[in-house]
Amino acid sequence: MGIYMDNAATTAQKPADVAEVMTKILQGEYGNPSRGAHGYSLAGFRVAEEAREQVKKLFQADQRYEAAFTNNATVALNEVLKGLIQAGDHVITTDWEHNSVLRPLYQLEKQGASFDVVSSEAVAGRLNYGEFVEYLRPETKAVICNHASNVTGNLLDLEWVKDFCEKHQLYLIIDASQTAGVVPIDLSDGKISAVCFTGHKSLYGPQGTGGVCLRKNLPIEPVLTGGDGMQSFSKVQPKELPTLLEAGTLNIPGLAGLTASIQWLQAKEARPELGEYFYQGLEEIAGLTIYGDFTGARVDVFSINIKDAESAIVSDLLWEEFSIATRPGYHCAPLMHNALGTADRGTVRISFSNFTTKAEVDEVLAALRNLALR
């Protein structure tokens, strides 16, 4: 169909094992986990538990943590934020955040909570880490950070933030939507309270999968309540994890696919090092503005603009004339675009995956050179 460079939204190319195992699940031998003692139910239960163990292994989580599944990172972030933050609490966040963090915070603000936003530099998008200290209050309860910006690809200084939260006894919630499967996240020191993730991006799992790996002692209330298959006469959702956050039927075919994708990732060689090569090629194109910090670690997400052209027009031309799929606009991250100075037209986002080849990168660079000359 074309060259797919919108992997920060979802990875379109998946490992063959994902489709194979999901097809097997849908052939009729797997039922609902914890909804009976028959073989069909037990088979479904084993699929869910295997996925749970794979997620905990991925994040190097010990017995202090449990993994609970949702259908994406957005739901996981809503469950953690709305289940943890109460009226009177204060939160520190950043302008890197996706609307899946910002909109729950705006809702919580209407209910009596408050939050401050750590700013970042124009164009480079580097966070001003000193503001974490400036925004600290006696009522500050939690810090919520995007592990990597989905606009610039900049990577959070996670160790700095972990130490800050430990020093001030704050809960730390990490949005790993762009990093799970790309950047190692180690929960073994116990400093992170919750990691929210999605399965359909750099984990190469199916859409409709995701969840949270969280500390078992996190004082969280359920946002969604409903069937659990065990305590039917209870008027409240069972307090035990993962049941506390898993009301209703789990996506067993999706979780089987997620397990297959994580196992594929763990067995695969490191992804091609094409980011620096691409960046060097971008720098050689006159009339291009490149957003982000390229002095340190990052993920392969690039935002650009060509001269004064609208990002939507550039992205449309890339698809219509060169069959290259990119993402224009604001990427559900309005504060990041305010910081970058791109709130008027957005950016063209180009993002790689394990399936991206050097030949494809060369074609993208050639197409951008063509457009920049117009």
pLDDT digits (tens, 9 = 90+) for 128-143: 999 999 999 999 999 9
Average pLDDT of span 246-275: 92
pLDDT for the residue 7: 98
pLDDT for the residue 317: 98
pLDDT for the residue 234: 85
d(CA 266, CA 58): 8
Q: In terms of Cα–Cα distance, which of 3, 2, 1, 25 is closest to 206?
A: 25
Residues 6+ positions from 324 with CB-CB distance below 8 Å = 2, 3, 5, 318, 363, 364, 367
d(CA 203, CA 353): 10
Tell me which of 119-128, 235-244, 267-276, 346-355 is least confident: 267-276
Question: What is the signed CA dihedral for 129, 198, 203, 238, rounded to 10 degrees?
Answer: 110
pLDDT for the residue 76: 98
Q: What is the pLDDT of residues 164-187, one digit of tens each?
A: 999 999 999 999 999 999 999 999
Going by pLDDT thresholds of 50, 70 and 90, the confidence category of residue 94 is very high
Percent of the chain predicted with pLDDT > 70: 99
pLDDT for the residue 105: 98
- Peptide bond before residue 272 is cis, with ω within 30 degrees of 0: no
Q: Is 120 left (phi over 0), alpha (psi -120 to 50) or beta?
A: beta
Q: Helix axis angle, 358-372 relative to 275-283, nearest 10°?
A: 20
User: Can you read off the two tokens belonging to residue 168?
Assistant: 């001030």
d(CA 112, CA 168): 22
**pLDDT at 288 exceeding the cut of 90:** yes
User: Can you read off the two tokens belonging to residue 210?
Assistant: 């995701």
How many Cβ atoms from other residues are within 10 Å of residue 60's Cβ?
14
Q: Encode burial over 154-163: b for 16+ CB neighbours within 10 A, e otherwise.
A: bbbbbeebbe
